Amino acid sequence: MNNLSNQPCMIARSLALVGDAWSMLIMRDAHAGLTRFDEFRKSLGIAPTMLTARLAALTEDGLLVKRRYSERPPRDEYVLTAAGQDFLPVLFAIGAWGRKHRSSDGVTRFFDAETGSEIDPITIDRATGAPIGTRPIRIVAPE
Amino acid sequence: MNNLSNQPCMIARSLALVGDAWSMLIMRDAHAGLTRFDEFRKSLGIAPTMLTARLAALTEDGLLVKRRYSERPPRDEYVLTAAGQDFLPVLFAIGAWGRKHRSSDGVTRFFDAETGSEIDPITIDRATGAPIGTRPIRIVAPE
DNA sequence: TGACTTACTACTAATTTGATAGTAACAGAA
DNA sequence: TTCTGTTACTATCAAATTAGTAGTAAGTCA
């Protein structure tokens, strides 16, 4: 795609980084606990060239960090940064949408890793607590 | 990409439909009120071939409907379905992420179209009200 | 020494995307 | 009636991206 990162809209700017399915799925797997090249490759069935490129891009953009976990032999893994962890609501919103509009047989479910309770994500307005999507909105870009 | 729509994970299945930047941006513009081919084309700077393909895919997948607004000459526009409207939280989550981690100069802002009050989207667990992203999670796919 | 692991790169084919131009079906003006 | 303009596209082809397979580097383990 073209020059998304130069646009004023935050959505467009963000999509420049994660606006493709592979990146989103890598983020999903990273949140599920995967860290290593081969774990991602096997989980996603992605060509290694693609995976190398995506991991490098996500690292470059600060969603992942490359961490050396073995000196001999040299081995690196990819772990979520704080910005990467903050990406989870996006995945949840997508999952919640799919659950509502695309579920037929089984659905992917989310659980709190510690308490074990199931999570049912919903996006609301922080101030009023009103769910997003129930009222018409106006999007305003600067400049 | 490959066979995302056959995967068990709702996130992957959803990304088969909207897992590219153009589709996301079309959804954004649709929520901002655009309906016509040329409105989308000018807003996005997208090649008409691409736009035709994306609009057809989003229509096929039930996020938009094609509505004839003029018989002579024949003219169609694209409007959000209920499923399409429900996609708004995804865009908000992406925008909120970008606002937090990518904002430098101006940021795109969201307003209630009727009351005019600004919206600050946040994704929470419906049951507990706890914000998503503050605790480790476990993702469980069926089968 | 040989098999195995892990994180990749090289290479080539297939597919998608992008850009430009053009078309169909009209409306309204001259 | 011809001319210009509008809108929603399609055709065509070059350029870029993606996918798939194979191979490599730097080790470990038996």
- CA B43/CA B65 separation, integer angstroms: 20
Q: Is the pLDDT of residue A33 over 80?
A: yes
Find the Å distance, CA of residue B40 to C1' of nucleotide D10.
18
Give me the pLDDT at residue B110, please: 76
HEC profile of A10-61:
HHHHHHHHHCEHHHHHHHHHHHCCCCCHHHHHHHHCCCHHHHHHHHHHHHHC
> What are B95-129's pLDDT values in tens digits?
999 988 887 655 567 777 778 787 777 777 887 87
Task: Tell me if chain B has a CB within 8 Å of the CB of A133.
Answer: yes
Q: Do B2 and A47 touch, CB atoms closer than 8 A?
A: no
Shortest Cα–Cα distance, B34 to chain A (Å): 12
- CA B98/CA A15 separation, integer angstroms: 9
Give me the pLDDT at residue A30, please: 95
Distances (CA, A) of A129 to B90, B116, B121, B122: 17, 16, 9, 9
Q: Do A130 and B96 touch, CB atoms closer than 8 A?
A: no
Nucleotide nearest to A21 (CA to C1'): D18
Residue in chain A closest to B125 (alpha carbons) equals A121
Give me the pLDDT at residue A111, please: 79
User: Is A73 exposed, middle or buried, given 0-12, 13-18 or 19+ CB atoms closer than 10 A?
Assistant: exposed
Give me the pLDDT at residue B111, please: 79
CATH domain B20-84 topology: Arc Repressor Mutant, subunit A (1.10.10)
Shortest Cα–Cα distance, A1 to chain B (Å): 8
Give me the pLDDT at residue A127, please: 77
Q: Is the pLDDT of residue B136 over 70?
A: no
Mean pLDDT, all residues of chain A? 87
> What are B4-42's pLDDT values in tens digits?
888 888 899 999 999 999 999 999 999 999 999 999 999
pTM of the shown model: 0.85
CB contact under 8 A, A107 and B10: yes
Give me the pLDDT at residue A108, please: 64
Instruction: Provide the token pair at B24.
Output: 């996301």
Average pLDDT over residues A28-43: 95
Q: Name the residue ranges covered by the structural domains of chain B.
A: 20-84, 87-130
Q: Do B27 and B58 touch, CB atoms closer than 8 A?
A: yes
Give me the pLDDT at residue B84, please: 95
CB contact under 8 A, A133 and B96: no
- CA B87/CA B68 separation, integer angstroms: 23
User: Is A51 exposed, middle or buried, given 0-12, 13-18 or 19+ CB atoms closer than 10 A?
Assistant: middle
Average pLDDT over residues A3-17: 87
Residue A79: φ, ψ to 5°: -125, 155
Q: Using a CB-CB distance cutoff of 8 angstroms, which residues of chain A are in contact with residue B102?
A: 10, 13-14, 17
Interface test mutation site (partner A, options B27, B108, B117, max chain A beta carbons within 10 A) = B108
Interface ipTM: 0.85
Find the Å distance, CA of residue A29 to C1' of nucleotide D25.
27
Average pLDDT over residues B57-65: 96
Query: B109-112 and A137-140 as β-strands: parallel, antiparallel, unpaired?
Result: antiparallel
CATH domain A4-119 topology: Arc Repressor Mutant, subunit A (1.10.10)
> What are A73-125's pLDDT values in tens digits?
889 999 999 999 999 999 999 999 998 888 765 556 777 777 878 777 787 78
Give the burial string for B7-18 (b: 16+ CB within 10 Å, else e). bebbbbbbbbbb
